[in-house]
Amino acid sequence: MTKTDRLVKDCFNRHALRSALAMFICIGLITGCNDMYDSSRIKPLEKNSFFTDGSSARIAPEGTVARGRAVNDDLLSTGRVNGRLADTFPFTITDSVMARGRDRFTTFCTPCHGRLGDGGGMIVQRGFPRPNSFHTDSLRERPAGYFFDVMTNGFGRMYSYAPSVPVEDRWAIVAYIRALQLSQRAEASTLSNEDRTKLFRLAQ
């Protein structure tokens, strides 16, 4: 066998070895994928003998934060600054924020508080206790953070809305509550000509 023949044979053997390795890797990957595709699953709250307590549902470790819920801004997430309820907002209040606040207020708040925030919601008409009006002096003087805190943690008969209303939407609702409070005592002379025209049309 010539030197050239040996070189060709060595190259062929190395190529064959690489091909064989690639084939075995592909077979392993395909087999693994099939195993994952056909693997068993556990239904919610199904018993599981793998854990000593027999439960498949595991308790999240202490301090676990849900995805998208990590917030380092105290004002935004608690309505407080240095531990005290703040009378400022964590972001600029724009027309779109007000529109969102009105939408969320209508959805979550009007059943109890009414569209004007006067406490005359539908549940009151059905015999449930009437909530306080937002237009009393005591609530008009409350800082914005107070309303955010109540929505977040609940107050009296009102339960927490934190699980169902995102942080930004709660602040949008607070902004709309402030607008409602202002609207009930605002003088028509302070409005623009366009807004006065709209107001008078609604009053007719």
What are the residue ranges spanned by the domains of the chain?
Answer: 74-189
Q: Which of 35-39, 71-75, 198-202 has the lowest mean pLDDT?
A: 35-39
Across 51-55, 66-70, 177-181, the highest mean pLDDT is recorded for 177-181
Check if CATH label 3.40.190.290 holds for domain 74-189.
no
How confident is the model over 193-197, as a mean pLDDT?
81
Of 178, 160, 161, 179, the C-alpha closest to 169 is 161
Question: Do residues 124 and 115 touch, judged by C-beta distance below 8 A?
Answer: no
Separation of alpha carbons 95 and 116, rounded Å: 19
Separation of alpha carbons 201 and 191, rounded Å: 14
Question: Do residues 150 and 101 touch, judged by C-beta distance below 8 A?
Answer: no
Q: Look up tokens 């066998």; give the residue.
A: 1
pLDDT digits (tens, 9 = 90+) for 81-136: 999 999 999 999 999 999 999 999 999 999 999 999 999 999 998 999 999 999 99
Residue 13 identity: N
pLDDT digits (tens, 9 = 90+) for 3-42: 555 544 555 456 555 666 666 666 665 555 555 556 677 7
Q: Answer with the residue of higher pLDDT: 70 or 86.
A: 86
> What does the pLDDT read at residue 163?
92
Separation of alpha carbons 32 and 35, rounded Å: 5
Beta bridge partners of 55: 47
Beta bridge partners of 155: 158
Of 133, 101, 137, the C-alpha closest to 116 is 133
> What does the pLDDT read at residue 150?
97
**Does pLDDT of 68 surpass 90?**
no
Q: How confident is the model at residue 53 (pLDDT cuts 50, 70, 90)?
A: confident
pLDDT digits (tens, 9 = 90+) for 148-177: 999 999 998 899 999 999 999 999 999 999
Separation of alpha carbons 184 and 181, rounded Å: 6
**Does pLDDT of 45 surpass 70?**
yes
- Rounded to the nearest angstrom, the gap between the alpha carbon of residue 116 and the centroid of all alpha carbons in its chain is 26
